[in-house]
Amino acid sequence: MLDKKAFAKWLQARPRLNVATTNASTTFSQDPPTVTSEPDISLEIAKQTIVGQAAQLIQQAQELKQQDQLLKQQAQELKQRSAELEEEAEAHKLDVDYIDKLDSQKHQIEQELAELKQELSDAKELATSQASDEALVRENEHLNQQLDQAQGQLDSLKNDLIEMQKELEKTASQKDYFQDQARVADQERLDTEKERDNAQNEMRKLRQQVNRLKKSGNPVAEPNSKLTKDWFTHPGLKLSDYTRFKLDIEICWNTIDSKLRENYPLKDYTIKDGFLEDAKETLPNEYARLVRICTEIICGISRAPRSNNWSGIVEVDRINRDGPNNNCPAVTRQQDGAISRKVNVKQNSPAAPRLYYWLLPDQSVELATIGFHDDFDPGR
């Protein structure tokens, strides 16, 4: 059994191991042994003691090593944090300088803006004053233009008024003229109506006379071949030449045999201006024959086929051709397609006059003119 007192003495007399710890490292040192006069302790006990102390020292050394590593790590982190703080401080310093610079610029811009606002205000006042003057000038120019335009319109209206007055005077003159013409036309209309009434009365009398002659069995007399001094029959009637001629054609048609009248009614016809004047000059003593020929032409007897009981006086009614022989084309009027035809007025006379007329597509007739054999003018 270990003697506690002897071990205590030994422990006091043993060399001491001093441990000094700094920030960077740990230092071990051993105190020199104390020489005593005590008798030596058992080597075995000392050995065990030393081993135990060594183990403790190793454990302490490991703990100190771990602490040293931890301290190194903390020192590294503090160093890194210090660097970051320095960078932040530098950046913060830069930010502060930049903010100061921006603040200076802002102050300068505000000052310039205030100056610009003042200049703008002054410019507005000046522009307002100038604009007012310019507006007055423009308004004056505009009014002058309107005045010139109004003066021009007034001059134009005056000219129009003068022209209208002239037109009014002209219209009044024309009105008087047309009124005179209207009065003349009314008088002519009245004269024509009176003439028509007289013609109808005469026609009625003549028809009554023809009917009496038919009933008595006496042949109907031919129209008087010997013309009166006035060239027309019925000189007592106040009729125009053409009205009298048309009346004589109707009387002549009523003298034709009734069977012929049924087959050849009196159709519509017209007489070209100048026809009777040509007839009066060319046939001064053939009025009755002219009336009978025109009657046969108008009702179509002159163009009918010839037979043994032919009773017409027109011997030849042929197409008028544009040339000397029958191979030449027929003379045709372009506007209505009428064909020119010609009839001998006198028989057995080589140089006898011909009556020219137009036969229209509807078989109506237009009496055109009377000319001689060598005349090919159909009276277009």
Q: For residue 40, give the DSSP letter.
A: P
Report pLDDT digits (tens) over 325-340.
Answer: 778 888 999 999 999 9
In the chain, % of residues over pLDDT 70 = 72
Report pLDDT digits (tens) over 8-53.
Answer: 665 566 555 554 555 545 555 555 555 444 555 678 787 788 888 8
Number of other residues whose CB lies within 10 A of the CB of residue 281: 10
pLDDT mean over 297-323: 82
| Rounded Cα distance, 196 and 208, in Å | 18
In the chain, % of residues over pLDDT 90 = 12
Domains of the chain, residue spans: 115-221, 228-371
Quick one: pLDDT at residue 369?
92
Q: Is the model's pLDDT at 106 over the cut of 50? A: yes
Sign of CA dihedral 115, 118, 122, 127: positive
Report pLDDT digits (tens) over 169-220.
Answer: 888 888 888 888 888 888 888 877 777 777 667 667 666 665 665 565 544 4
pTM of the model: 0.43
Q: For residue 322, give the DSSP letter.
A: S
Phi and psi, residue 333, nearest 5° = -90, 125
Report pLDDT digits (tens) over 314-323.
Answer: 888 888 888 7
Structure tokens at 239: 């009729």
Considering only residues 292 and 133, tell me which one the structure prediction assigns the higher pLDDT.
292
